[in-house]
Chains A and B, each alone.
Chain A
Amino acid sequence: MSRPLLSLLTFLFLSIICNAFSPENPTDRKVLVLLDDLSVKSSHSLYFQSLQSRGYDLDFKLADDPRVALQRYGQYLYDALILFSPTIESLGGSLNAAAILDFVDSGHDLILAADASASDLIREIATECGVDFDEDQAAMVIDHTSFAVSDTEGDHTLIAGDNFIQSDVILGKEKIKAPVLFKGIGHSVNPANSLVLKVLSASPAAYSANPKSKLSTPPTLTGSAIGLVSVVQARNNARILISGSLSMFSNRFFRSGVQKAGSTINHGRSGNEQFVTEISKWVFHERGHLKAVNVRHHKVGEADEPSIYRINDELEYSLEIYEWSGTSWEPYVADDVQVQFYMMSPYVLKTMSTDQKGIYYTSFKVPDVYGVFQFKVEYKKLGVTSLSLAKQIPVRPFRHNEYERFITAAFPYYGASFSMMGGFFIFSLVYLYHK
């Protein structure tokens, strides 16, 4: 009796595994949404619907629900986490900042939205991800020159942001025409951190301060250095979105029109929906997730991969790169994939040609230095998962009999030797038998 049950369980387990995040199927499937309260589910329903319609299984929980858990028996229950609970001081269950960071460290994705009332916990998680929110708890991003004209908001904290990062991978091919409404807190990113990217920055005239109190000292965050929305792509390709505004995702901002101050163009709808949808496609690996397969190299004119190369050999190197489109692997088309022939430092660095169908190839001559080399592909592009391939290959010098045998310059010496030999032969005859 137990055997059918066991096989059923195995089947169920396998089917769960198949649906979950895997290197072969990198889009997230199960997403945990933690909310301050369930009314956010209704007020931000358009955003959640757009995720659900793309096939995500959203599990809504209150952030302080004692039953909330990210993993059970060492297995993660979710592929991604949406943290829409800016005010939460401590999470329910065994969840804490460290658990969330472990979740990210194990390659899972995170969307975090803060607000003017962001708690220390949320700030801590953001800081660990390399995004520092303004330390002044009452501060908001204020912009007196590029605010959104509004009938109800007169303090210029509703910002019409259009300072986007230039990246098709992150924001999609279609240009975001209408500005994005933003009301919340700003952050700065550490310039030394190469993993964090500001996707939406404030205008040069913006600053982050408490709108209700007079300023006596300069604000810590000013101008375009203020990040409004940032993304992080960790070394393990986990992706994180950090926004200083929760209302950016709300139905109200999705539906609202926007007119930027000083501009006469009145957009019927803000760019929020497009911006937020496109960026969540990126965060959930529907775009810009690459894999490299079929790495091959061989001598020109041969087909098999040798175990060793000789200096000055001509070789051909090729690999195939595919991009995950959310449902299938599509050939990746780019013109900046480079291969290095590397020993301590690159000896050869070459941009590969492509056939536009995912195959990248090149050929070059092995340097006249012997040792243990590596074929290295270090592909780092804005927004795309980084590819890092290395394949070791030794290079030997010429064998003793592989050098040139008949050197023209040496012909006089050869000639001298052989004439000497001929002379010796004749002389020996003459000397012995002359009478």
Chain B
Amino acid sequence: MMKVLGFLVLLALSSALTCEAAIFKPISHSHRSAALELFTPADGSFKSFEEAYEALRTFEVLGIKKQPDQRADTCASVVDTLSSPSSALKDLFQALRVNGLLNCELNKKAFAGIVPRLKDAVKIASSLLDSYYSVGSLVLIKGLSSDVDVHLESADSVFRAIKALGQSDGRWRYSSNNPESSTYAAGIAFESLAGVISLASSEIDQSLISMVKNDISKLLGGLEKYDDGAYYFDEKLVDAQGHQGPLAASSAVVCGITSFATVSAENLNLPGDKILGLARFFLGIGVPGNAKDLYYQVEALASLENNRVSMPLILSLPTNVLSLTRKDPLKVNVNTVLGAAAPSLTVKLKQIFSSGSKDSSVIDQDLKFDHKNAVHYLDALPKDIDVGSYVFTFEVVLHDSEHRMIYATGGRTKVPIHITGVIKVNNAEISALDSDLGNVETRKKLDLAGENSVCLSANHLQKLRLSFQLTSPLGHALKPHQAFLKLTHESKLEHIFVVHNSGKQFEIILDFLGLVEKFFYLSGRYDIELTVGDAVMENSFLQPLGSVELDLPEPPEKAALPPPLVVDPSSRFGPKEEIAHIFRAPEKRPPRNLSYAFLALVLLPFVGFLVGLLRLGVNLKNFPTSAPATFAILFHLAIAAVLSLYFLFWLKLNLFITLKALGFLGIFLLFVGHRTLSHLASTSAKLKSA
């Protein structure tokens, strides 16, 4: 279910507007370059025969001439495998397949050893894969050398054994003890049966073949369909091998049916539309990104291309977009799925549907054929086709009646076509109107093809009117998908209005009184921009028209605030402005010299004091002599020490040391001071009494 969905997504990529109409293109160069990319082994040699076969087969089908460098290596291992008696059936088969593509020089004797082994394996094969490998190997050997007898005597019983694994709904089981049936296995079974038929020494019972024919038609009855006309086989059984999705299953069945049809020489009555649908399924995948898928796709397309029962023809258009102005001719290619030329045929344009409306115009017109470029073309589109999206219906008619049996054209093919053209824009004008009377205040003509810069001004009681006309190349009215008038306020706030039309005339009237709330009461300059565009309009444009200066009333208290504006992401990032700290300014101080001057001034009284003392003729005659003199000297020294301590405190000492020292000095000072002063007091008392 999931995978189906996936392919739907893939198809949706390449499918276009309408459901039924879709575009499928045959295999192209992109497949070839993808194949070269995908199938070039990374380390120079293929990992297995299977991988080698897938790569070589894809190159062969796509016509890639590049001979891989690995030929010698691969051939050597092919020879090894074929000559070894213990190689597994699967390896033998894959080696033979690779050999079929590389044409290695093989020893004929090697076959003689293998063939009996394979024949035994065919007889005792219990599972479908065993039969497939052994029968397939024999068929490949048969193709290589004619002198080895590979014919099966008991072809009927082998045929029956394989057929016995078939289910009633046309699918196959891998082995008798595995109850699950698979579509992929059915494809393998058909291929094995085809091999058995080609190896049979006598004619296979016709009833057996018709039973298989019946199975094929039952299997085709169970095809799933997409909306765009692609058919595929769904695979319910997804086993451990992976790669068993719808692509692998459809590819195996297509290969099986075509090889069965080739050998059975019987008309299988394959329905042409289903074969074409399968081809579309494989083409709709586009370029797969996986080697296995690419191989499945290419292999299936190759067997569709080369079968002689029903070859699908793919109708494709080089371009689905046609310009009416450039008078592009309508071109159609018809190719086989691999891009080869188709037989002589005529493409007819049958019907044209206009998308959006149900009506169609029936035309029956043959397209001319350009032999040089192998393109069917129509010089001029039908006269009444104007720009727009259409669905064209084509029919492919083969000239040769024999070809009609071989090629599947699928009846009518629907293709979506877009017709574009240059749309005439004229009578554009912009005007400011007075509200009530509709008086035109200012009217400016606009040239929408060139530059415009009108400057209008309006207040909330006025209206702004813009009108223009659009005319399609055939003179019809065109309603473009996009007709927007955009007003952008200075603060980047945008307001968008759709311009409506009546016929060719487009007109919009902006009544500012009703819009003040929407404009968030923002007065100021509004830039006007007009965008007109449509898928079919070649000259879609985005035109700045100028600006209008709006004078809107003050917002009432409860008015809504304008929404936050989109911030440029780069402004949120980037370095911030540097910040430097501003330090406190140091306090103002007087100049140094002034301080010194005042210092001198302050010291002056001290000098005066000294001079005064000298003038007075001071003496120290009262200084004690003998023993008290020691105390007096110590007393004054202590005073000097205290004063120097103060000096030192200023210079460097802290309070604690100073107080400690001062404490000791103080006690000493007290003691010597007491002795000195008491001596002085006693001497002066003696003097007085004397």
Residues of A within 8 A of B (CB): 35-46, 62, 64, 87, 115, 142-145, 150-156, 165-166, 191-192, 194, 197-198, 204-205, 207, 209, 211-212, 214-219, 222-223, 225, 247, 250-252, 255, 312, 336, 338, 340-341, 346-351, 364-365, 367-369, 380-382, 401, 407-412, 414-419, 421-430, 432-435
B14 close to A152 (CB less than 8 A): yes
- Complex contact A418–B647 (CB within 8 A): yes
Cβ contact within 8 Å between B599 and A412: yes
Which residues of the partner chain A approach B389 to less than 8 Å between Cβ atoms?
Answer: 154-155
Q: Are A145 and B321 in contact (CB under 8 A)?
A: no
Within 8 A of A (CB), among B624-647: 632, 636, 639-640, 643, 646-647
Q: Is B5 an interface residue (CB 8 A)?
A: yes
Instruction: Digitize B576-617: 1 where CB-to-A-CB distance is under 8 Å, 0 elsewhere.
Output: 111111011000011010011011011101100110010000
Instruction: Evaluate contact between A44 and B289: CB separation under 8 angstroms.
Output: yes
Asked if B496 is at the interface (CB within 8 A of a chain A CB), the reply is yes
Chain B residues with CB under 8 Å of A435's CB are 619-622
Query: Which of A152, A155, A198, A421 lies in contact with B646, CB distance below 8 A?
Result: A421
- Chain B 515-549 interface 0/1 with A at a Cβ cutoff of 8 Å (1 = within): 00000000000000001011111001110000000
- Please indicate which of the listed interface residues A44, A191, A364 has the most CB atoms of chain B within 10 Å of its own CB: A191
Give the distance in Å from the alpha carbon of A165 to the alpha carbon of B572 in the complex.
14
In contact, B498 and A155 (Cβ under 8 angstroms): no
Q: Which residues of B contact A166 (CB under 8 A)?
A: 570
- Decide: B579 and A409 in contact? CB cutoff 8 A: no
Asked if B318 and A151 make an inter-chain contact with CB atoms under 8 angstroms apart, the answer reads: yes
B484 touches A151 (CB 8 A): no
Q: Is the CB of B482 within 8 A of A207?
A: yes
Question: Is there an interface contact between B574 and A336, defined as CB atoms closer than 8 Å?
Answer: yes
15 inter-chain pairs at a CB distance below 8 angstroms, sorted by A residue, are A38-B2, A42-B293, A44-B289, A151-B321, A154-B17, A154-B321, A209-B481, A251-B287, A348-B580, A367-B583, A412-B601, A424-B643, A429-B636, A432-B622, A432-B680
Q: Are A41 and B320 in contact (CB under 8 A)?
A: no
In the complex, the answer to whether A365 meets B6 with C-beta atoms within 8 Å is no
Given known contacts A409-B589, A411-B595, A412-B595, A37 and B572 CB-to-CB distance under 8 angstroms? no
**A155: which of B4, B17, B247, B622 is its contact (CB, 8 Å)?**
B17
Chain A residues whose CB sits within 8 angstroms of the CB of B479 once the complex forms: 214
**Is the beta-carbon distance between B494 and A223 smaller than 8 angstroms?**
yes
CA of A36 to CA of B2, assembled, Å? 7
B-side contacts of A251, CB under 8 Å: 34, 287, 289
**Is B288 an interface position by the 8 A CB rule?**
yes
A88 to B232, CA, bound (A): 23
Taking residues whose C-beta sits less than 8 angstroms from the other chain, chain B's interface range is 35 or more
CA distance A1 to B416 in the complex (A): 73
> What is the minimal beta-carbon distance from B530 to any residue of chain A, in angstroms?
11
- Give Cα A191–Cα B571 distance, bound, in whole angstroms: 13
Please, which residue of chain B has its CB at the minimum distance from the CB of A219? B496
Q: Give the distance to chain B from A393, nearest Cβ to Cβ, in Å.
A: 15
In the complex, residue of chain A having the shortest beta-carbon distance to the beta carbon of B247: A39
The winner among A216, A422, A427 for most chain B CB atoms within 10 A is A422
Chain B residue nearest to A190 (CB atoms) is B564
| In-complex Cβ contact of B535 among A144, A222, A382, A412 (8 A) | A144
Judged by DSSP, the binding face of B is mixed
CA gap between A347 and B646 in the complex, in Å: 43
User: Is B67 engaged at the interface, CB distance under 8 Å to the other chain?
Assistant: no
CB pair B622–A197 under 8 Å, yes or no, is no
Q: Which of A35, A43, A425, A427 has the most CB of B within 10 A?
A: A43
Instruction: Judge whether B619 and A150 touch: CB under 8 Å.
Output: no
B680 nearest CB neighbor, chain A only: A432
How many pairs of A and B residues are in contact by the CB < 8 Å rule? 262
Find chain A residues with CB under 8 A from B572 CB.
194, 380
Is A165 within 8 A of B569, CB to CB?
A: yes
Q: Contacts A151-B321, A207-B484, A408-B592 given: A197-B602 contact, CB under 8 Å?
A: no
| A36 in contact with B5 given A216-B498, A338-B575 (CB within 8 Å) | yes
B203 CB, min distance to chain A CBs, angstroms: 44
| Given known A-B contacts A43-B289, A401-B654, A426-B613, A37 and B5 have beta carbons under 8 A apart | yes
Q: Which residues of A contact B290 (CB under 8 A)?
A: 41-42, 45
Whether the pair A422, B606 counts as a contact (CB closer than 8 A) is yes
| B573 contacts the other chain (CB 8 A) | yes
Cβ-closest 5 pairs across A and B: A144-B533, A154-B418, A45-B289, A37-B6, A39-B6
Report the separation of the CA atoms of residues A312 and B583 in the bound assembly, to the nearest whole angstrom: 9
Q: Is the CB of B613 within 8 A of A430?
A: yes
Q: Does B671 contact A (CB under 8 A)?
A: no
Q: Which residue of B lies closest to A64 (CB)?
A: B2
Q: With the chains together, A216 CA to B2 CA distance in Å?
A: 37
Point out the residues of chain A lying under 8 angstroms from B486, CB to CB: 222-223
B566 CB within 8 Å of chain A: yes
Kindly provide the distance from the CB of B57 to the nearest chain A CB, expressed in whole angstroms. Answer: 18
* A142 engages B481 (CB within 8 Å): yes
Question: Which residues on the B side are within 8 Å of A64 (C-beta)?
Answer: 2
The answer to the question of B10 belonging to the interface, with a C-beta cut-off of 8 Å to chain A, is yes
CA distance A41 to B592 in the complex (A): 88
For residue B620, which residue of chain A has the nearest CB? A433
Contact B579 A37, beta carbon cutoff 8 Å: no
Give the distance in Å from the alpha carbon of A424 to the alpha carbon of B497 in the complex.
101
Contacts of B391-438 to chain A: CB distance below 8 A: 416-418, 420
Query: Within 8 Å of chain A (Cβ to Cβ): is B240?
Result: no
B353 within 8 A of A: no
Q: Which residues of chain B are near A198, meaning CB under 8 Å?
A: 569
- A36 contacts B9, C-beta separation under 8 Å: yes
Residues on B with beta carbons closer than 8 Å to the beta carbon of A215: 481-482, 498
Q: Which residues of A contact B570 (CB under 8 A)?
A: 166, 382
- B623 adjacent to chain A (CB < 8 Å): yes
Report the Cα distance A156→B566, complex, angstroms. Answer: 27
* Interchain CA distance A35-B565 in the complex, whole Å: 37
User: Which residues from B are CB-within-8-Å of A255?
Assistant: 30, 33-34, 287
Bound-state Cα–Cα, A43 to B286, Å: 9
Determine how close the nearest CB of chain B comes to the CB of A196; give it in whole angstroms. Answer: 9
Q: Which of A155, A216, A348, A411 is the one whose CB lies under 8 Å from B579?
A: A348
- B265 close to A (CB within 8 Å): no
CB-CB < 8 A to B564: which residues of A? 191-192
- The reply to whether B535 and A156 contact each other, CB–CB distance below 8 Å, is yes
Bound form: Cα–Cα A42–B293 in Å = 8
Query: Which A residues touch B646, using CB under 8 A?
Result: 417, 421
- B16 lies within 8 A of chain A by Cβ: yes
A177 to B9, CA, bound (A): 29
Q: Are B595 and A368 closer than 8 Å at their CB atoms?
A: no
- Are B573 and A380 in contact, CB atoms less than 8 angstroms apart? yes
Bound form: Cα–Cα A340–B576 in Å: 10
Q: How far is the CB of A429 from chain B (nearest CB, A)?
A: 7
Q: Does B668 contact A (CB under 8 A)?
A: no
| Cross-chain contact B622 with A211 (CB below 8 angstroms) | no
Q: Does B3 have its Cβ within 8 Å of any Cβ on chain A?
A: yes
- Neighbouring B residues of A364 by C-beta, 8 Å: 580
**What's the nearest-Cβ distance from chain B to residue A117, in Å?**
8
Q: Determine how close the nearest CB of chain A comes to the CB of B501; give it in whole angstroms.
A: 11
Residues of chain A with a CB closer than 8 A to B584's CB: 368
Q: Does B439 contact A (CB under 8 A)?
A: no
Contact B603–A419 (Cβ < 8 Å) = yes
**B531 adjacent to A205 (CB under 8 Å):** yes
B500 nearest CB neighbor, chain A only:
A216
Q: Does A368 contact B583, Cβ atoms closer than 8 Å?
A: yes
When the two chains form the complex, which single residue of A115, A204, A338 contacts B542, counting CB atoms closer than 8 Å? A204
Q: Shortest distance in angstroms between B33's beta carbon and chain A's nearest beta carbon?
A: 8
Residues of A within 8 Å of B579, CB to CB, are 340, 346-350
Q: Which residues of B contact A340 (CB under 8 A)?
A: 579
Decide: A382 near B569, CB < 8 A? Known: A46-B289, A145-B540. yes
Which residue of chain A lies nearest to B531 when distances are taken between CB atoms in the complex?
A205
Closest residue on chain B to residue A418 by CB atoms: B647
Q: What 15 new A-B contacts, CB under 8 Å, besides A336-B575, A422-B643, A425-B640?
A: A144-B540, A154-B535, A155-B16, A205-B531, A222-B484, A223-B494, A338-B576, A382-B570, A408-B595, A408-B596, A409-B595, A412-B595, A414-B650, A418-B647, A419-B606
